[in-house]
Amino acid sequence: MGKSSKDKRDIFYRLAKEQGWRARSAFKLLEIDDEFHVLKEVKRAVDLCAAPGSWSQVLVKRLSENSNYADIDNDSSKKSSSPPKIVAAPLENVIQIKGDITKQSTVEQILGYFEGESADIVVCDGAPDVIGLHDFDEYIQAQLVLAALNITTHILRPGGTLIAKIFRGKDVTLLYARLLRFFERVTCAKPRSSRNSSIEAFVVCQNYQPPKDYIPTMTKPILDLSYDDDENNKLLGPSRLIVPFVACGDASGFDSDQTYPLEEKSLDPLQPPISAPYRTAIALKQQNFYNKIPS
């Protein structure tokens, strides 16, 4: 991107580079935590679809801060000796797992790192490569959220929290209904650092309580939706399901859609961008390599 592109002018993009966050999305999780306090007393966290790792950075920072609390005897000299455990992007004090979130092997790896214990919170800021067809993009994003929910049922403790990115659309009611089957409270949160022009939002699902006799399985995941059953038919018309909506962040703070004056000298990113997988192919094409290959 050029120096004058929209992302270069965006205030949260520039603040992320100045403060060392890998992406501007770090502020979204920070604002959600400030509103809901979901990272308080969390000792085991999982960040799904963690690249480039800004949410993982937030987890490391907030969980490390929260772990330095005094013991019950109020002796401030005694701190928690058990450091938080985080499964996410490749960072210091974080374990990285490269796996498919729809596979049982990934579940076993995560629980193995937690020594058989369950996670306190699962976050997912993943999203597909959007193509501009909103109905299709919303559907694919909903399937990604349901995949995250499915693995969450394997690794999250009762009473835990799930935070995931969603695209709000006409069929988001069906997604809310699935989430409310597993969580006592579901809230749609829109951080101030998320552009108003974007259809993205985040579901904050609190107090994980799976249905009675529910057995998590990867062989018949939650993604298998039936649009003909009575449960979904009840969600149409006046019975349409609505969840609370919360705008996170300080209203007097920066506006993600506002253009702010640039400094005289633009700052270089502290974190280099991810190398594209096709970078080598582009370099070979520029060298006219493919035209030299005999047919």
Q: Which of 136, 124, 129 is nearest to 202 (CA)?
A: 124
Q: How far apart, in Å, are the Cα atoms of 271 and each of 14, 21, 92? A: 12, 8, 14
Residue 83 falls in which region: left (phi positive, over 0), alpha (psi -120 to 50) or beta: beta
* Three-class DSSP category at 65: helix
Residue 171 falls in which region: left (phi positive, over 0), alpha (psi -120 to 50) or beta: alpha
The contacts found for 183-186 with CB under 8 angstroms, 24 or more apart, are 183/207, 183/208, 183/209, 184/209, 186/243
Q: Give catalytic residues, as residue numbers.
A: 165
